[in-house]
Chain A
Amino acid sequence: MNDCIYLDNNATTKIDDDVLAAMLPYLSIYYGNPSSMHTFGGQVGRAVRQARSQVASLLGAEDSEIIFTSCGTEGDNAAILAALKAQPKRKHIITTEVEHPAILNLCRKLERDGYTVTYLSVNEQGQLDLDELEASLTGNTAVVSVMYANNETGVIFPIEQIGQIVKEYGALFHVDAVQAVGKIPLDMKTSTIDMLTLSGHKIHAPKGIGALYVRKGVRFRPLLVGGHQERGRRGGTENVAGIVALGEAAKLAEQHLAGVAWEQQLRDKLERGILSSIPNTVINGDPVNRLPNTTNIGFKYIEGEAILLSLDQYDICASSGSACTSGSLEPSHVLRALGLPYSVLHGSIRFSLSRYTTEAEIDRVLEVLPSIINRLRELSPFNSDDADWLKEQEEAVLAR
């Protein structure tokens, strides 16, 4: 199973060997508490400080602006709730229809608690309408939370344009950058972002560690109240090994970003190969403003889970926004927000690459995929012969 062709890096990534080597001593030799007054604990405290600098450097931030968290979900929750606590008179939140559940479900809960939430729509390219954003902003808006890049389509939002508009209304600006960090360069020094969430396991660190950037001067209230750790902004003894791992992963990501856009070359090769060898296939989302490692491809007339399980036979790992893979019975909220036709929606597959992806792996996918798609299409009652009937079905659904 270790030899699988792993093209599901937006779900999680493999731990880099250097990251593992950096963290292991903190699970064995250096078990001290970084808050302790003795030398044994003190050396652990130094490792945490170094990791904080490494993460800050990746973001172009200052060390004191980094709070270590347990995951992306914690970062998102902490940011939104802090923004609301810091501005108790403002009761309005703006976010988008395509956010991660960590934001969407929190917002739904806040609606039940009396807050008003605006969910900005996206067009068929997965892009926001900035006029809609501007029309939604009021003096009552506490926070605007928008993801940097979408986990399913890879579509990148115009974050700085959004930030400029948000600042005019005095609201705080939070960005869930879990998918963007390590994949595209970010610089908080020149940014309008007030708070930014990142997660370790998306950048080759282990699961269970993340960070929240909070711009200096932004009023912050902790989600976890406890000891003085993280300067009182996040109680709880530090996950030292995880923090060291995140620091090392941030350092490696920064080095990688300075080099060649390897994933993008391979991603483009994969896309071109698929589109030229398999008919009735489309790229979902804005093809230009997109993460370099991600492609979301709709294979018409067939269902995603069947494609994934067929790929799995060849030890190829990808993912799908189809209903059948989620257990929720409805296809991905992101692809639905794009308004894709159902014939595309259910057969959409996401391939997400990493710096470890090789050309041989992409070639292998291109070798086996056409016959997989062809076999499933032969099984399907929907095919080009039925195009009219299919169109009728889709129109009937839209009319409902």
Chain B
Amino acid sequence: MWDYTDKVMEHFHNPRNQGKITEKQEGEEIVTGEVGSIACGDALKLHLKIDEDTQTIKDATFQTFGCASAIASSSALTELLKGRNVEDALKLTNKEIAESLGGLPEEKMHCSVMGQEALEAAIYSYKGIPLDTHEEDEGNLICRCFGVSDTKIRRIIRENNLNTAEQVTNYVKAGGGCSSCLPDIDDLIYEVTLEKEKSVEVAAAIATASQPAPSPTAKSLTNLQKITLIQRVIDEEIRPILAEDGGDMELFDVEGDIVKVVLKGACSGCASSTETLKLAIEATLKDRVLPSLIVESV
């Protein structure tokens, strides 16, 4: 028997916001995100009513085929979504869904992932972005039994800091069928771990390479001087270090204190390394140019 929290059982026995949304006012749109299938053993249809003016989720309901934790995760998700801004909602992770239920048994984490995916599907549909152009589907199919791509597996490994193939199975089911892809999943874990270590190393190298220099004060810099100085620090101090590991970056724009950069090569496409690198670049620029600078990767 699974060790469900009281909260999971409470949501299972008394689910919130079940059913479809049928009525809408002028200026509201109803969208649906569908994930899973009858073959997988769980499926979720998430319905959102969005106020087009404020981009706010006015109502969220669900229909779920699945076990107690799938029903509870769906119910909890709808509670988390009501009143949220669409962009803000898109940032919701499966971890937050699980946490709102006081946690899920590790083997049931895929139920929270299903919630997050349905949410993404609903919002993509609202924005008119076809789901099949979504980056995940461009990846290679790793798990044939459950149709899981390497992109999705990499993402789940990064976002949840997973270390074993068994955990990956618990989160996205990959490897849970014929289990022939377990060695491939092990390889992906190894690659993501390497990426992470690499990005930490690179960040450390950037930090130590920054030579102490007289820090100019904000007042003494014109906008042009600021941009020129940022460009110079990037070109002379940051890019050479990135280049050693096959990475690169480019200054995209500067708006006030916001420095927009584009990460390239080995630096791109990895959420956790992006975050680590961004912080390292920011620390260098704060030190060398202006303490108030904030780096954003675009």
Contacts and interface: CB of A to CB of B under 8 A. Distances in A.
A79 interface: no
B211 interface: no
B37 interface: yes
Nearest to A330: B177
Given A329-B173, A329-B177, A330-B177, A378 B18 contact: yes
B71 A381 contact: no
A387 B174 CA distance: 28
A301 interface: yes
B18 A397 contact: no
Given A313-B13, A378-B18, A305 B67 contact: yes
B44 A381 contact: yes
Interface residues of B, number: 30
A382 interface: yes
Contacts of A342: 37-39, 41
B136 interface: no
A55 to B, nearest CB: 33
Nearest to A312: B1
A324 B67 contact: yes
Contacts of B43: 381-382
B67 A303 contact: yes
B42 A381 contact: no
B41 A306 contact: no
Given A306-B71, A393-B37, A324 B64 contact: no
Contact of A381 (B9, B39, B63, B176): B63
B109 interface: no
Interface of B: 9, 12-13, 15, 18-19, 34, 37-39, 41-45, 63-68, 70-71, 107, 145-146, 169, 173, 176-177
Given A324-B67, A342-B39, 15 more contacts: A302-B65, A322-B67, A324-B41, A327-B107, A329-B169, A329-B173, A379-B15, A379-B63, A380-B65, A381-B44, A381-B63, A381-B64, A382-B65, A390-B38, A394-B39
Interface of A: 301-306, 309-310, 313, 322-325, 327-331, 342-343, 346, 378-382, 390, 393-394, 397
Closest A-B pairs by Cβ, 6 of them = A329-B176, A324-B67, A305-B67, A381-B63, A323-B41, A381-B45
